Protein backbone atom coordinates (compact mmCIF):
# COMPACT_ATOMS: atom_id res chain seq x y z
CA UNK A 1 0.00 0.00 0.00
CA UNK A 2 2.78 2.46 0.83
CA UNK A 3 4.42 1.88 -2.57
CA UNK A 4 1.22 3.02 -4.25
CA UNK A 5 1.03 6.16 -2.11
CA UNK A 6 4.73 6.88 -2.76
CA UNK A 7 4.17 6.53 -6.52
CA UNK A 8 1.25 8.98 -6.39
CA UNK A 9 3.28 11.44 -4.30
CA UNK A 10 6.22 11.30 -6.73
CA UNK A 11 3.86 11.89 -9.65
CA UNK A 12 2.41 15.01 -8.02
CA UNK A 13 5.75 16.56 -7.08
CA UNK A 14 6.83 19.47 -9.22
CA UNK A 15 9.46 18.79 -11.83
CA UNK A 16 10.86 22.35 -11.72
CA UNK A 17 13.10 23.20 -8.77
CA UNK A 18 11.75 25.83 -6.37
CA UNK A 19 14.44 27.97 -4.68
CA UNK A 20 14.95 27.72 -0.95
CA UNK A 21 13.02 30.40 0.88
CA UNK A 22 11.79 30.72 4.42
CA UNK A 23 9.44 32.72 6.60
CA UNK A 24 10.03 36.48 6.39
CA UNK A 25 11.60 36.46 2.92
CA UNK A 26 10.36 38.91 0.31
CA UNK A 27 9.39 36.89 -2.75
CA UNK A 28 7.94 37.38 -6.22
CA UNK A 29 5.60 34.54 -7.22
CA UNK A 30 4.95 34.20 -10.96
CA UNK A 31 1.44 32.77 -11.36
CA UNK A 32 -0.02 31.46 -14.62
CA UNK A 33 -3.51 32.87 -15.22
CA UNK A 34 -5.80 31.46 -17.88
CA UNK A 35 -8.19 33.91 -19.56
CA UNK A 36 -10.31 32.18 -22.17
CA UNK A 37 -7.91 30.44 -24.52
CA UNK A 38 -4.94 32.66 -23.60
CA UNK A 39 -2.51 32.20 -20.74
CA UNK A 40 -0.44 34.93 -19.12
CA UNK A 41 1.89 35.25 -16.15
CA UNK A 42 1.04 37.59 -13.29
CA UNK A 43 3.49 38.47 -10.51
CA UNK A 44 2.41 38.55 -6.86
CA UNK A 45 5.13 40.11 -4.68
CA UNK A 46 5.08 40.14 -0.91
CA UNK A 47 6.38 38.67 2.34
CA UNK A 48 6.15 34.98 3.19
CA UNK A 49 4.26 34.82 6.49
CA UNK A 50 3.65 31.05 6.74
CA UNK A 51 4.59 27.63 5.34
CA UNK A 52 2.40 24.61 5.94
CA UNK A 53 2.41 20.95 5.02
CA UNK A 54 5.17 18.90 3.48
CA UNK A 55 6.10 17.20 0.22
CA UNK A 56 3.36 17.41 -2.43
CA UNK A 57 0.86 19.16 -0.14
CA UNK A 58 3.14 21.98 1.02
CA UNK A 59 1.78 25.53 0.77
CA UNK A 60 3.10 29.00 1.57
CA UNK A 61 1.23 32.21 2.36
CA UNK A 62 2.37 35.53 0.87
CA UNK A 63 1.11 38.87 2.20
CA UNK A 64 1.37 42.35 0.73
CA UNK A 65 -0.29 45.72 1.16
CA UNK A 66 -2.23 46.83 -1.92
CA UNK A 67 -3.91 50.25 -1.93
CA UNK A 68 -3.90 50.32 1.87
CA UNK A 69 -5.48 46.86 2.26
CA UNK A 70 -3.65 43.72 3.29
CA UNK A 71 -3.90 40.98 0.67
CA UNK A 72 -2.86 37.38 1.32
CA UNK A 73 -2.62 34.50 -1.12
CA UNK A 74 -1.90 30.87 -0.39
CA UNK A 75 0.14 29.04 -3.04
CA UNK A 76 0.74 25.30 -3.28
CA UNK A 77 4.43 24.73 -3.97
CA UNK A 78 3.81 21.86 -6.41
CA UNK A 79 0.99 23.61 -8.30
CA UNK A 80 1.32 23.84 -12.09
CA UNK A 81 -0.07 27.39 -11.87
CA UNK A 82 3.04 28.60 -10.00
CA UNK A 83 5.55 29.26 -12.78
CA UNK A 84 8.46 30.31 -10.55
CA UNK A 85 9.36 31.90 -7.23
CA UNK A 86 12.07 34.56 -6.96
CA UNK A 87 13.58 35.50 -3.62
CA UNK A 88 14.16 39.26 -3.48
CA UNK A 89 15.36 39.62 0.10
CA UNK A 90 16.11 37.22 2.93
CA UNK A 91 15.39 38.25 6.48
CA UNK A 92 16.10 36.42 9.71
CA UNK A 93 13.00 36.11 11.90
CA UNK A 94 12.38 34.38 15.21
CA UNK A 95 8.88 33.08 14.55
CA UNK A 96 7.50 30.16 12.54
CA UNK A 97 4.42 32.16 11.53
CA UNK A 98 4.29 35.94 11.08
CA UNK A 99 0.57 36.41 11.64
CA UNK A 100 1.28 39.44 13.83
CA UNK A 101 1.95 41.42 10.63
CA UNK A 102 -1.80 41.35 9.93
CA UNK A 103 -2.46 43.91 12.67
CA UNK A 104 0.31 46.26 11.55
CA UNK A 105 0.05 49.06 9.01
CA UNK A 106 2.47 51.33 7.18
CA UNK A 107 6.18 51.07 7.88
CA UNK A 108 5.53 48.77 10.84
CA UNK A 109 4.97 45.93 8.36
CA UNK A 110 8.57 46.11 7.15
CA UNK A 111 10.94 43.50 8.55
CA UNK A 112 14.55 44.37 9.39
CA UNK A 113 17.11 43.87 6.62
CA UNK A 114 19.33 41.91 8.97
CA UNK A 115 20.30 38.58 7.43
CA UNK A 116 22.65 37.48 10.21
CA UNK A 117 22.31 38.22 13.90
CA UNK A 118 24.61 41.01 14.98
CA UNK A 119 27.02 40.07 17.71
CA UNK A 120 28.61 42.82 19.73
CA UNK A 121 32.28 42.23 20.45
CA UNK A 122 33.13 41.42 24.04
CA UNK A 123 35.33 44.14 25.48
CA UNK A 124 37.37 43.44 28.60
CA UNK A 125 36.86 45.96 31.36
CA UNK A 126 39.90 48.03 32.29
CA UNK A 127 40.84 47.78 35.92
Per-residue pLDDT at 80: 87
> Is 110 within a domain?
no
> Is 118 within a domain?
no
Q: pLDDT higher for 3 or 118?
A: 3
Provide the domain limits for residue 68.
Answer: 2-102
> Is 125 within a domain?
no
Domain CATH code at residue 78: 2.30.30.790
> Is 28 within a domain?
yes
Q: Which residues of 105-115 are buried (b: 16+ CB within 10 A; e: fewer)?
A: eeeebebeeee
> Is 22 within a domain?
yes
User: Are the C-beta atoms of residues 89 and 25 closer than 8 Å to each other?
Assistant: yes
Report, as an integer, the average pLDDT of 84-105.
90
> Is 85 within a domain?
yes
Q: What is the pTM of this model?
A: 0.78
Interatomic CA distance for residues 30 and 83, integer angstroms: 5
> Is 109 within a domain?
no
Report the DSSP beta bridge partners of residue 1: none
28-37 confidence digits (pLDDT tens): 999 999 999 9
Q: How large a percentage of the chain has pLDDT more than 70?
A: 85
pLDDT, mean over the chain:
85
Please spell the DSSP secondary structure of 78-103, one letter per residue: T-TTEEEEEEEE----S-S--GGGGG
Choose among 78, 80, 77: nearest CA to 41. Answer: 80
> Is 44 within a domain?
yes
Amino acid sequence: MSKVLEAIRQEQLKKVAIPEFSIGDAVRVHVKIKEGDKERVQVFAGTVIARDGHSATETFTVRRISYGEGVERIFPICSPSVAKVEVEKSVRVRRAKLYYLRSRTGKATKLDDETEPTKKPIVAAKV
